[in-house]
Structure formats: structure tokens, C-alpha cells
């Protein structure tokens, strides 16, 4: 699903239709569909309905482990319902801080036959609690189920269901039109004949005696820029693929109409029926608004300007003809600043009107150089009134603030202008970016890598940045900790640079002052000879200083030249302080975590006991989401003339868990060295843990193997069942009669099960960190491990160590592991003891 919209293999229309159906089902004003991308762990917005794409660019991409409703719905496979803003702040403070408006959200996973495609999400009016939106949730779940079934059929037919580009932005389902403003028309592809009723002819601006009896006469009634769209739309509808939403079209006299096409009832090609709706304000209303002394313009829900009176054109500094039928950000580029995006987002997703102030850009003239334009530096007071289909915006002059950089928020309005009071400081200062969003996200990041990822996810999108580099100070040299967006190898010459170098990344740290460059030319003028990449964009160099101590420097890069307002500079400098504190904390974490891992390794066996007829391999992977050591362990112990294979897991993490693990490991070794029966080993260990009374329990699996015969006796105390792979590749779980976990019941009994290991068979013992994932059944994880073991091959095909590495490869490559992982593999060999060839010496991997 990475081709163009016209690609027949891509069900773009299905996605857009599902988004529209979702809005109807939940009574929402906006929503969309997220799909998995080709990048593992990344969701991308495929369809956005009822909202302008540019305003919601920060949410085009979501990682599945991000604390957001859509991510949780996909990862956990359950609907996530936020009834109102208070509910969102309580459960998802980072999400609520980024969209601090009054609305509710319903996010439903798109799943069929165990295949998770993505999430259908809708923004809707706030409700008292989740119970009030139960009906909407059920309807939305049905829509998501239908979409999943369509995507499953598409995939089964050889298509791909991933998304890796910008979202399709579609209009929401049209509201009910005013009475008498609906027309009907039809087109027969076989004859080319067009029929239209009287209301349709009136909406097209045609006189009563003129009938659009051909496709050419119908397109002739439309604006030339839209006329070319209609034939293709009709042909697609005749093939059974009508547009999922009404299509906006302009008539020759400038009126905005919505055309809703319906698939033919007979087998295509057959006659296509259409409904024509009046989407613009009525002519009397337009005429009245044209005479108003204040500026008035209307936007549809995708940001297209559908009406503007002459006063609005004058105040915006753009010819009226260049406003209509263009997106607000295309027609008035200076309104695309981050400071103005947030109130516009609020008007689109919240029912309450919003008020804010904007600073007009410099004078602009039309193509002939004529026409008065506003003075640079003037401020406008803007009010936006939301509606189901249109936003109505009013503009009045608000005052002038001299000596402020372009785009800055007013700090001391200079006084009234045109009889209108200057804006109130608190009301006019629209926040460039909410530092609380970054602050909340940084509290959840504990490693330097996680801190850098948060900056990429939260800071760059807020300011439109595309490049990031974070350098950390070590022994008076700066070392690159993270970079994204720069050309490959470009930053290599700056690695390990000393504090005496005259480059902006060093000087911002040594002076403690942020450095801002509007363009690369400005940067080159300030630092002659400095290496530059191919872009001409702006750069910001921020010092990372925590509690007066230098930590490093942060570089933000932009694709295009841009200025930095005083408010943006202030906010970026403050955010750099947050990043510095988080990085300092992460450095302490990394140091302490290294010490903790050293303790963990010291408690694990440095070598495994060996036997000439048994080969064993162990692997241990520490968790990455906590600094504390865990309680997983494995061991191989000489037991008489055989071997004891042991694996266990103490509840919890931390020093206490590690200490308990060490005591249990020593106890099991002592019992095993005495060649005590397996049931006595487990019973004695259980009594020891109860006597120690650490307030913890543990699971354990103990296998006493006779290498000469291959027979094994096994007991299990609440541990995941071992897996046995036979020489022919068949693999099954070995589930002995269950015994209670250790440390709970002094009277617990541990039944013994017997099994035989043939030469070439593999017995796999593991802890739950290898098979358990949040939101998924552990049985699914065991099944996946069983499949992987069967496919990994036997010891005759590859070394046992390679098989262990294959089984832990996914976990080893994972950035975040919520739990420790232990794995122990054992296989009898066909070697005779007389050969004197011992098994390998194995250390923890």
C-alpha cells in the first residue's frame, strides 16, 4: 500500500470510506486510520478525515511503545476510550498536554484473524465518562472490523497493507444541506448522456432553458481548474469505485458545491447517479458579509478558504482572488508559524470558539504591484468559531508592537490603532510549544538513547526541524551521543572535538549562550571555513547545562531558512535545560546500571559443569527498562555420575531479588552435588526460601539427566514448561505435573516426570522474559519459541551456541526489554566416554 492512490492494488478508497464511516458511527468531527509501516514498531497516519494535514504533522508517525491512546490500542489489541480532557490528562498526560482541548477520543484496533493492521481513531465531543460513549464504541468497533476484513482480503490477494508516506486528507461526511439546495444528476457512460434536475441546474449556475445534456456541457459549467476532475471521477464511479467522500467543485461563478457520486446499481459500466450540494454560504449572506467593517473568512475542515470578504483580504495582505479555493497556509504563509497552529487546532477539534492574536507579515503587492497592503508589525485579533462543516474566522486590527522580531509574541503593546485596544499580553501570547509535553516525556526516559528519542519525537516536530545532533561532554571533549537527519558521515570530523575548538557546538557550551542562525549563509559568515551540509536551512545550537554543570550541546537543523522569534529562543533555551537534566540523569543511570549488571554477572555461573556425553549452552540477557538487577538464573551442576540442569526466576528486581537468587542457586547446587532426588532438591529449596522469609517467591525447573542412558527426571515449581526438540525436528512442551512456586507452602509436593533425550535432541529451559510480552498471552509466546526451536535446526546441522543465539536474536536486538531473559540448552551427544573428548566450556552469553 505504498503506491499512488490510483494504484488498484491499494485500497485507499476503503481507508477513506472507513474513516468517514467511523465519524458517522461515533458522531465525531475528525478522525483517521493509522497503519503499520515497513519500519518495525512504527505506525503512520494513512487517512486523516476532517482535519488539515499540516496542522497535525507531529502526529503523522507514532511508535508503538509511545504512551499514546492509538499506540496502546494497537499494542494491547483493545479499544482505548478517553471520554473527555480530564480522562485524557489522567491516563495520557503527554497526549493531553500536546492537545489541550475539550474533546474525547475513541481508538479501536483494526484486527482480523490475528493480524493487527493498525487503529481507527475518532475525535468526538466530550462525554461524562466512558459509559456514555458505549454505543459509539460498539459502532466504531464494527466499522474497524469491516475495515480489517477488507484489508485481510486485499492482503490475501497479494497486496501489501503498510503505509509509508504522508496521509490522505479527506473531507468528513457532508452535513445535512439546507432545504431546497440539493440537486440530482446522472451520467450514462454508454451514451455519454447527462441528465440534471432543475435544482442541479440552478446550483451549477445554468439558466432554466439550458440543460447540460453532455459531459462537455456539464464540465463547462465548472471553474476550469476543477472541470478536468469531473470526467475521471465519473468514470471511476461507473467502474464501481465512487469517491468515498463528497468532492468539492467550484462553479464558473465561484460557488462551492459538493458532488456525491454513487456506484451504479447494475453491473458496471452503468449509469452513475450523483447528488449536488450547496456547500458555501448563501449569496445573500455573502453580500451582507462583504459589507462588514471587520474581516470575515470561512475555512472548510481541510483548511481550504471557501469565502473571504474584501476587508479580510486587505487585513491579510492578499488579493481576494488569491485567497479563495486555496489552503490557508498556501494563501497566507506567515500563518503557518507554530505559534498560530495551536489555536487553529483547538477550533478544529473543540466546540468552543478560540481567540488569539497574530502578527502580520510585511507589505505584499499583487502581480501588477498595485493595491494597499498592511504595515509590517501590525497585530490582528482573530476569533475562530467552529462549526460542523466550516470554521468562521473574524479579523480586526489589534495594535502595533514595534521593535519585535518577526513572528514574536507581543511583550508590551504600544497602544491602540484604528480605535481598537492593544491586545492583552496574556491573551495574545500563543505558546510556541508546550514545555510540559517534553517534560512529561523526559520523566519516562532513563537512558541517553531514550532521552534522545524523546527529543526527536517531541521537540523536532514542534518546531519543524529535520535534523538533530546531541553531543555529551567527556573529559573536555564532545562525543556524539545521537544524530538523525544529517548526511551520512557529515558529523564524523566533529567527533571528540576539544573545548578549545572554534565551532558553534563548542562555543554554545563554553559560553552558556544559545546560538541561532537564520540560514547556512549566516552560519558560514560567523564561522568562516566551517563544514556545511547541502541544505540552506537554519540552525540552532543549544547549550546543555544542568545545575551549572556543562553536559553537552544540542544542534537543531531545518531544511529552509527561517527566523527565530524571541519567544521561540526563550522556549528552546528552557527546553535545552530540561534535556540537559535528563541527560545528566541518564548518564548517572548508565554508570549505575553498569555496576548493577556487573553484580548480576558475578552471581551467574562463570562456567557450566561439563560431561563428555552432554553439551550445554547458556544465555543471559538483562532487562533494559530498569536499572535494578533481576532474579533470573541458570546452572549446570555435577550430580553423581550425571548432570543437573537448573533454571529459575525470583519474583521482582533489585538487590533483594539478586540476593535471594544467589541463596537459592547455592542451595540447589548443594542439594545437586549430593545427588539428592529431584523432588527432595525442590522440597528442600522450598523450605529454605520459607525459612529465609525474604517476602519473595520463585519459580524453578530442575532436571536430573543420566547421560549414559539419556533418561531424565524432572520437577517443576511454577516455571514455564521446557521444550523438547526431537532429532527429526518435532518439538513439544514438556509439562510435568505442576508444583507450587517456591516460598509459599511448606507442605508443597513436587511430582516427578520422566523423559528420554535421544542423541541429537535438544532440551530448552528458559525464563518468562523470553516468551512474555505485555498485552499478549504467554502461551502465544511459548508457541512462537517452540516454532523457532523447530526451525533452528539440530546440533548435527549447526553448533548449539548458534541455535541459542537464533532463539534470543529478536530479544537481543530489541532496544527495550521489560524483563531479564535466561536460556539453557542441553543435548546428548553420540560420543563415547572412552574418547575422552569433553563437552565445551560455556560461559554466559
Q: What is the pLDDT of residues 644-662, one digit of tens each?
A: 999 999 887 666 677 778 7
Chain-wide mean pLDDT for the chain? Answer: 78
Q: Is 720 left (phi over 0), alpha (psi -120 to 50) or beta?
A: beta
Residue 637 has pLDDT above 70, yes or no: yes
Our separate counts of H helices and E strands in the chain read: 25, 33
Q: How far apart are CA 674 and CA 364, in angstroms?
A: 93
| pLDDT (0 to 100) of residue 282 | 46
| pTM (two decimals) | 0.48
| pLDDT (0 to 100) of residue 492 | 85
| pLDDT (0 to 100) of residue 375 | 44
pLDDT band per the 50, 70, 90 thresholds, residue 546: confident
Residue 378 has pLDDT above 80, yes or no: no
Identify the helix (H) or strand (E) that includes residue 551: strand 549-557
Q: How far apart are CA 730 and CA 409, in angstroms?
A: 70
Q: How far apart are CA 602 and CA 682, in angstroms?
A: 24
Which of 95-104, 372-381, 697-706 has maximum average pLDDT? Answer: 697-706
Pair 764, 822: CB distance under 8 Å:
no
| pLDDT (0 to 100) of residue 412 | 30
Peptide bond before residue 269 is cis, with ω within 30 degrees of 0: yes
Q: pLDDT higher for 175 or 572?
A: 572
Q: How far apart are CA 639 and CA 48, in angstroms?
A: 65
Exposure of 102 in the CB half-sphere (CA atoms within 13 A): 10
Residue 376 has φ and ψ, to the nearest 5°, of -65, 140
Pair 473, 552: CB distance under 8 Å:
yes
pLDDT band per the 50, 70, 90 thresholds, residue 402: very low
Q: Which residue has the cell 470526467?
A: 231
Tens digits of residue pLDDT in 489-532: 888 888 888 988 889 989 999 888 899 998 888 888 898 888 88
Number of C-beta neighbours around residue 762 at 10 A: 26
Give the pLDDT mean for 133-159. Answer: 89
Give the pLDDT mean for 419-433. Answer: 35
Residue 704 has pLDDT above 90, yes or no: yes
Give the pLDDT mean for 406-429. Answer: 33
Residue 423 has φ and ψ, to the nearest 5°, of -65, 145
Exposure of 829 in the CB half-sphere (CA atoms within 13 A): 20
Give the pLDDT mean for 576-599. Answer: 74
Tens digits of residue pLDDT in 37-51: 988 888 999 999 888
322: its cell numbers: 488569491
Amino acid at each position: 500500500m505504498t503506491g499512488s492512490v490510483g494504484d488498484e492494488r491499494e485500497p485507499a478508497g476503503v481507508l477513506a470510506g472507513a474513516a468517514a464511516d467511523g465519524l458517522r458511527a461515533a458522531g465525531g468531527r475528525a478522525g483517521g486510520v493509522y497503519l503499520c509501516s515497513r519500519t518495525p514498531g512504527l505506525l503512520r497516519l494513512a487517512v486523516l478525515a476532517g482535519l488539515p494535514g499540516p496542522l497535525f504533522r507531529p502526529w503523522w508517525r507514532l511508535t508503538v511503545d509511545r504512551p499514546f491512546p492509538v499506540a496502546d490500542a494497537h499494542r494491547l489489541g483493545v479499544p482505548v476510550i478517553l471520554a473527555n480532557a480530564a480522562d485524557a490528562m489522567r491516563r495520557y498526560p503527554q497526549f493531553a498536554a500536546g492537545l489541550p482541548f475539550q474533546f474525547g477520543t475513541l481508538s479501536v484496533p483494526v484486527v482480523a484473524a490475528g493480524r493487527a493492521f493498525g487503529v481507527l481513531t475518532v475525535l468526538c465531543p466530550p462525554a461524562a465518562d466512558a459509559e456514555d460513549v458505549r454505543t459509539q464504541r460498539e459502532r466504531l468497533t464494527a466499522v474497524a472490523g469491516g475495515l480489517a476484513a477488507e484489508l485481510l482480503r486485499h492482503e490475501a490477494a497479494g497486496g501489501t497493507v503498510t503505509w509509508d508516506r504522508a496521509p490522505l486528507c479527506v473531507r468528513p461526511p457532508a452535513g445535512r444541506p439546507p432545504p431546497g439546495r440539493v440537486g440530482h444528476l446522472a451520467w450514462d457512460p454508454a451514451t455519454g448522456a447527462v441528465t440534471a434536475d432543475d435544482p442541479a441546474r440552478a446550483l451549477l449556475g445554468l439558466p432554466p432553458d439550458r440543460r447540460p445534456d453532455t459531459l462537455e456541457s456539464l464540465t463547462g459549467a465548472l471553474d476550469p481548474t476543477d472541470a478536468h476532475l469531473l470526467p475521471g471521477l465519473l468514470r471511476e464511479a461507473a467502474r464501481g469505485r465512487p469517491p468515498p467522500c463528497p468532492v468539492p467543485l467550484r462553479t464558473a461563478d465561484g460557488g462551492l458545491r459538493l458532488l456525491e457520486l454513487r456506484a451504479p446499481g447494475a453491473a458496471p459500466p452503468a449509469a452513475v447517479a450523483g447528488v449536488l450540494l450547496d456547500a458555501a454560504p448563501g449569496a445573500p449572506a455573502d453580500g451582507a458579509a462583504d459589507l462588514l467593517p471587520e474581516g470575515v473568512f470561512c475555512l472548510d475542515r481541510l483548511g481550504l478558504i471557501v469565502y473571504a470578504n474584501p476587508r479580510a483580504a486587505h487585513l491579510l495582505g492578499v488579493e481576494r482572488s488569491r485567497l479563495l479555493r486555496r489552503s490557508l497556509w498556501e494563501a497566507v504563509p506567515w500563518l503557518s508559524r507554530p505559534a498560530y497552529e495551536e489555536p487553529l487546532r483547538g477550533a478544529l477539534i473543540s466546540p468552543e470558539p478560540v481567540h488569539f492574536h497574530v502578527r502580520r507579515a510585511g507589505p505584499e503587492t499583487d502581480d501588477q504591484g498595485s493595491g494597499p497592503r498592511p504595515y509590517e508589525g501590525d497585530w490582528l485579533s482573530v476569533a475562530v468559531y467552529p462549526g460542523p462543516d466550516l470554521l468562521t474566522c473574524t479579523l480586526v486590527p489589534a495594535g502595533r508592537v514595534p521593535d519585535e522580531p518577526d513572528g514574536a509574541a507581543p511583550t508590551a503593546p504600544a497602544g491602540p490603532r484604528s480605535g481598537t485596544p492593544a491586545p492583552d499580553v496574556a491573551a495574545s501570547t500563543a505558546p510556541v510549544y508546550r514545555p510540559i509535553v517534553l517534560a512529561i516525556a523526559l520523566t519516562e526516559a532513563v537512558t541517553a538513547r531514550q532521552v534522545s528519542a524523546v527529543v526527536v519525537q517531541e521537540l523536532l516536530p514542534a518546531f519543524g526541524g529535520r535534523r538533530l545532533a546531541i553531543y555529551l561532554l567527556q573529559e573536555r571533549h564532545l562525543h556524539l551521543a545521537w544524530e538523525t537527519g544529517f548526511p551520512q558521515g557529515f558529523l564524523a570530523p566533529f567527533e571528540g572535538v576539544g573545548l578549545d575548538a572554534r565551532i558553534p557546538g563548542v562555543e554554545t557550551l563554553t559560553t552558556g549562550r544559545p546560538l541561532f542562525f537564520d540560514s547556512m549563509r549566516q552560519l558560514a559568515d560567523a564561522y568562516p571555513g566551517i563544514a556545511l551540509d547541502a541544505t540552506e536551512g537554519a540552525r540552532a545550537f543549544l547549550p546543555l547545562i544542568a545545575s551549572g554543570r556543562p553536559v553537552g550541546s544540542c544542534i537543531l537543523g531545518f531544511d529552509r531558512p527561517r527566523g527565530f522569534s524571541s519567544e521561540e529562543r526563550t522556549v528552546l533555551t528552557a527546553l535545552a535545560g530540561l534535556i540537559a537534566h535528563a541527560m545528566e540523569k541518564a548518564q548517572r543511570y548508565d554508570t549505575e546500571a553498569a555496576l548493577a549488571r556487573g553484580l548480576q554477572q558475578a552471581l551467574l555461573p562463570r562456567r557450566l559443569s561439563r560431561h563428555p556425553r552432554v553439551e550445554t549452552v547458556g544465555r543471559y540477557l538483562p532487562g533494559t527498562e530498569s536499572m535494578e538487577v533481576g532474579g533470573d538464573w541458570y546452572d549446570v551442576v555435577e550430580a553423581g555420575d550425571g548432570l543437573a540442569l537448573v533454571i529459575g526466576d525470583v519474583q521482582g528486581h533489585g538487590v533483594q531479588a539478586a540476593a535471594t537468587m544467589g541463596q537459592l542457586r547455592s542451595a540447589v547446587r548443594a542439594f545437586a552435588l549430593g545427588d539428592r532426588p529431584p523432588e527432595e532438591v525442590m522440597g528442600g529449596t522450598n523450605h529454605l526460601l520459607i525459612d529465609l522469609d525474604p517476602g519473595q517467591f520463585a519459580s524453578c525447573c530442575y532436571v536430573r539427566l543420566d547421560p549414559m542412558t539419556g533418561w531424565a527426571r524432572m520437577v517443576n515449581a511454577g516455571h514455564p514448561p521446557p521444550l523438547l526438540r526431537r532429532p527429526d525436528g518435532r518439538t513439544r512442551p514438556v509439562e510435568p505435573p505442576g508444583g507450587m512456586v517456591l516460598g509459599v507452602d511448606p507442605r508443597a509436593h513436587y511430582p516427578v516426570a520422566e523423559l528420554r533425550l535421544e542423541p541429537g535432541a535438544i532440551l530448552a529451559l528458559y525464563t518468562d522474559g523470553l516468551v512474555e510480552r505485555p498485552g499478549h498471552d504467554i502461551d502465544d509466546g511459548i508457541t512462537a519459541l517452540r516454532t523457532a526451536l523447530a526451525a533452528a535446526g539440530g546440533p548435527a546441522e549447526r553448533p548449539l551456541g548458534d541455535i541459542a543465539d537464533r532463539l534470543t536474536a529478536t530479544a537481543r536486538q530489541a532496544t527495550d526489554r521489560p524483563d531479564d531473559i535466561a536460556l539453557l540448552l542441553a543435548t546428548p551427544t553420540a560420543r563415547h566416554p572412552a574418547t575422552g573428548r569433553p563437552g565445551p566450556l560455556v560461559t554466559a552469553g
